[in-house]
Amino acid sequence: MKSFLITELAALLSTFVFSQTPNWSDNSGDFNNSMSVVGVVELNGAELRSATNEIGAFVGSELRGTTTAFYVSSKDRYFFLITIYSDVVSGETITYKVYNESENEVVDLVNTSDFTIDLILGELDNPVILSDDAGSVDVTGPV
Protein backbone atom coordinates (compact mmCIF):
# COMPACT_ATOMS: atom_id res chain seq x y z
CA MET A 1 0.00 0.00 0.00
CA LYS A 2 2.82 2.37 0.91
CA SER A 3 4.60 1.86 -2.44
CA PHE A 4 1.29 2.45 -4.27
CA LEU A 5 0.87 5.79 -2.50
CA ILE A 6 4.44 6.79 -3.28
CA THR A 7 3.95 5.88 -6.95
CA GLU A 8 0.71 7.86 -7.14
CA LEU A 9 2.32 10.85 -5.40
CA ALA A 10 5.28 10.75 -7.79
CA ALA A 11 2.94 10.65 -10.79
CA LEU A 12 0.96 13.58 -9.45
CA LEU A 13 4.09 15.64 -8.75
CA SER A 14 5.52 14.93 -12.21
CA THR A 15 2.32 16.28 -13.74
CA PHE A 16 2.82 19.58 -11.94
CA VAL A 17 6.59 19.81 -12.28
CA PHE A 18 6.86 18.87 -15.97
CA SER A 19 3.62 20.35 -17.25
CA GLN A 20 3.89 22.73 -20.20
CA THR A 21 0.39 24.15 -19.73
CA PRO A 22 0.84 27.77 -20.80
CA ASN A 23 -1.47 29.51 -18.30
CA TRP A 24 -2.14 32.19 -20.92
CA SER A 25 -4.38 35.10 -19.97
CA ASP A 26 -4.76 38.11 -22.24
CA ASN A 27 -5.40 41.67 -21.12
CA SER A 28 -8.13 42.46 -23.64
CA GLY A 29 -9.35 45.40 -21.55
CA ASP A 30 -6.01 47.15 -22.07
CA PHE A 31 -6.58 47.54 -25.82
CA ASN A 32 -8.99 49.54 -27.99
CA ASN A 33 -8.95 47.56 -31.25
CA SER A 34 -9.42 43.97 -32.32
CA MET A 35 -9.45 41.55 -35.24
CA SER A 36 -10.49 37.90 -35.42
CA VAL A 37 -9.16 34.68 -36.89
CA VAL A 38 -11.21 31.54 -37.56
CA GLY A 39 -8.72 28.75 -37.95
CA VAL A 40 -7.67 25.17 -37.48
CA VAL A 41 -4.25 24.01 -36.35
CA GLU A 42 -2.13 21.37 -38.04
CA LEU A 43 0.87 19.82 -36.33
CA ASN A 44 3.04 17.44 -38.34
CA GLY A 45 0.40 17.54 -41.10
CA ALA A 46 -2.51 16.44 -38.89
CA GLU A 47 -5.27 18.67 -37.55
CA LEU A 48 -5.56 18.96 -33.79
CA ARG A 49 -8.80 17.32 -32.68
CA SER A 50 -9.40 18.22 -29.06
CA ALA A 51 -11.18 20.99 -27.18
CA THR A 52 -8.36 20.99 -24.63
CA ASN A 53 -5.88 22.55 -27.07
CA GLU A 54 -5.27 26.29 -26.73
CA ILE A 55 -3.90 28.89 -29.13
CA GLY A 56 -2.15 32.15 -28.30
CA ALA A 57 -1.58 35.17 -30.56
CA PHE A 58 1.45 37.31 -29.83
CA VAL A 59 3.08 40.60 -30.80
CA GLY A 60 6.68 40.00 -29.87
CA SER A 61 6.46 38.20 -26.52
CA GLU A 62 3.21 39.93 -25.49
CA LEU A 63 0.07 37.79 -25.53
CA ARG A 64 -2.69 39.57 -27.48
CA GLY A 65 -5.37 36.88 -27.57
CA THR A 66 -6.03 33.30 -26.55
CA THR A 67 -8.77 30.71 -26.84
CA THR A 68 -9.39 26.98 -26.70
CA ALA A 69 -10.65 24.90 -29.61
CA PHE A 70 -14.33 24.19 -30.10
CA TYR A 71 -15.98 21.39 -32.04
CA VAL A 72 -18.40 22.03 -34.91
CA SER A 73 -20.26 18.77 -35.53
CA SER A 74 -21.56 19.75 -38.98
CA LYS A 75 -17.92 20.20 -40.11
CA ASP A 76 -16.46 17.43 -37.89
CA ARG A 77 -13.57 19.76 -37.06
CA TYR A 78 -12.12 21.63 -34.11
CA PHE A 79 -11.85 25.36 -34.74
CA PHE A 80 -10.13 28.22 -32.97
CA LEU A 81 -12.01 31.52 -33.00
CA ILE A 82 -9.44 33.92 -31.62
CA THR A 83 -9.87 37.62 -31.02
CA ILE A 84 -6.60 39.53 -31.22
CA TYR A 85 -6.20 42.91 -29.51
CA SER A 86 -4.11 46.00 -30.25
CA ASP A 87 -3.98 49.76 -29.81
CA VAL A 88 -2.99 50.40 -33.43
CA VAL A 89 -5.27 50.20 -36.46
CA SER A 90 -2.76 48.21 -38.51
CA GLY A 91 0.85 47.23 -38.88
CA GLU A 92 1.70 44.86 -36.03
CA THR A 93 2.86 41.36 -36.89
CA ILE A 94 0.97 38.61 -35.09
CA THR A 95 2.65 35.26 -34.41
CA TYR A 96 0.97 32.14 -33.02
CA LYS A 97 1.69 29.37 -30.54
CA VAL A 98 -0.48 26.38 -29.72
CA TYR A 99 -0.64 24.28 -26.59
CA ASN A 100 -0.99 20.68 -27.75
CA GLU A 101 -2.57 19.02 -24.74
CA SER A 102 -2.03 15.44 -25.93
CA GLU A 103 1.75 16.02 -26.07
CA ASN A 104 1.76 18.51 -23.18
CA GLU A 105 3.83 20.99 -25.18
CA VAL A 106 3.70 24.51 -26.58
CA VAL A 107 4.54 24.66 -30.29
CA ASP A 108 5.50 27.75 -32.31
CA LEU A 109 3.42 28.00 -35.47
CA VAL A 110 5.02 29.35 -38.64
CA ASN A 111 2.11 31.55 -39.76
CA THR A 112 1.98 35.28 -39.20
CA SER A 113 -0.80 37.81 -39.70
CA ASP A 114 -0.70 41.57 -40.05
CA PHE A 115 -2.98 43.21 -37.49
CA THR A 116 -5.78 45.17 -39.16
CA ILE A 117 -8.59 46.64 -37.07
CA ASP A 118 -11.94 44.79 -37.47
CA LEU A 119 -10.49 42.27 -39.96
CA ILE A 120 -11.89 38.74 -39.86
CA LEU A 121 -9.55 36.12 -41.32
CA GLY A 122 -11.11 32.79 -42.25
CA GLU A 123 -14.55 31.31 -41.77
CA LEU A 124 -15.94 27.89 -40.92
CA ASP A 125 -16.13 26.91 -44.61
CA ASN A 126 -12.63 28.25 -45.31
CA PRO A 127 -10.60 28.47 -42.09
CA VAL A 128 -7.06 29.75 -41.82
CA ILE A 129 -4.70 26.78 -41.54
CA LEU A 130 -2.21 27.52 -38.76
CA SER A 131 0.67 25.08 -38.89
CA ASP A 132 4.09 24.10 -37.60
CA ASP A 133 5.05 23.27 -41.22
CA ALA A 134 7.58 25.70 -42.67
CA GLY A 135 5.95 25.20 -46.09
CA SER A 136 2.87 27.14 -44.95
CA VAL A 137 2.26 30.65 -46.26
CA ASP A 138 1.79 33.77 -44.18
CA VAL A 139 -1.76 34.99 -43.69
CA THR A 140 -1.74 38.72 -44.26
CA GLY A 141 -5.20 39.51 -45.60
CA PRO A 142 -8.67 38.14 -46.19
CA VAL A 143 -8.70 34.45 -46.94
What are 81-135's pLDDT values in tens digits?
Answer: 999 999 999 999 999 999 999 999 999 999 999 999 999 999 999 999 999 986 6
Q: Which of 23, 29, 85, 16 is nearest to 54 (CA)?
A: 23
Output the pLDDT for position 47: 95
| Predicted structure pTM score | 0.80
In the predicted structure, residue 4 carries a pLDDT above the cut 50: no
Q: d(Cα 88, Cα 107) in Å, to the nearest integer?
A: 27
Output the pLDDT for position 135: 60
> Which amino acid, residue 75?
K
Output the pLDDT for position 107: 96
Q: d(Cα 55, Cα 130) in Å, to the nearest integer?
A: 10
